[in-house]
Amino acid sequence: MQQPDAPRETGDREVVDAFLEASRNGDFERLLALLDPDAVVRADGAAVQMGSQALVSGAHSVAETFVGRARAAKAAVLDGGPGAAWQLHGETKVVFGFSVVDGLITEIELLADPQVLGEQRVQIV
């Protein structure tokens, strides 16, 4: 497996790390502060089958989706950008791709399709 590049922007990694920490700690206000007002979460079909919503729109709804939830998510580099991964018995089951613009998260993509996961360059950090 080819090793992913370093995250595109160090600041983006810091935003994602802060988001994961706020999620784990149930800090709703901090989550809101890290999200673009028009932030969205998109989940593939496999993630939906695992219980995710296919689409969540707006910072408030995205924050509600993640508050208190990312306890098992590990920081990761996903195709060279900041991400996270959820693993079960050492096997990656879901990856979270983050888009960060001007210091705010604009999109989170949840990918759980095994075929798609096999095509992703994921490195747990």
Per residue in 29-80, pLDDT (tens digit) is: 999 999 999 999 999 999 999 999 999 999 999 999 999 988 889 999 988 8
Structural domains in the chain, CATH included, are 10-124 (3.10.450.50)
Q: What percent of the chain stands above pLDDT 90?
A: 69
Which of the residue ranges 4-13, 49-58, 82-91, 102-111 would you say has the lowest mean pLDDT?
4-13
**Which residues are bridge partners to 94 per DSSP?**
86
Extended beta strands in the chain, E state: 35-43, 55-57, 74-78, 81-88, 91-101, 104-111, 122-124
Res. 9 pLDDT band, cuts 50 70 90: low
What is the distance between the alpha carbons of residues 124 and 102, in angstroms, rounded to a whole number?
24
Contact 117, 92 (CB under 8 A): yes
Average pLDDT, the chain: 89
Q: Other C-beta atoms within 10 Å of 115: how many?
A: 7
Q: Give, in order, the Cα–Cα distances in Å from 16 to each of 54, 58, 95.
A: 21, 17, 13
What is the distance between the alpha carbons of residues 55 and 48, in angstroms, rounded to a whole number?
9
Instruction: Decide if pLDDT at 93 tops 80.
Output: yes
How much is the pTM? 0.87
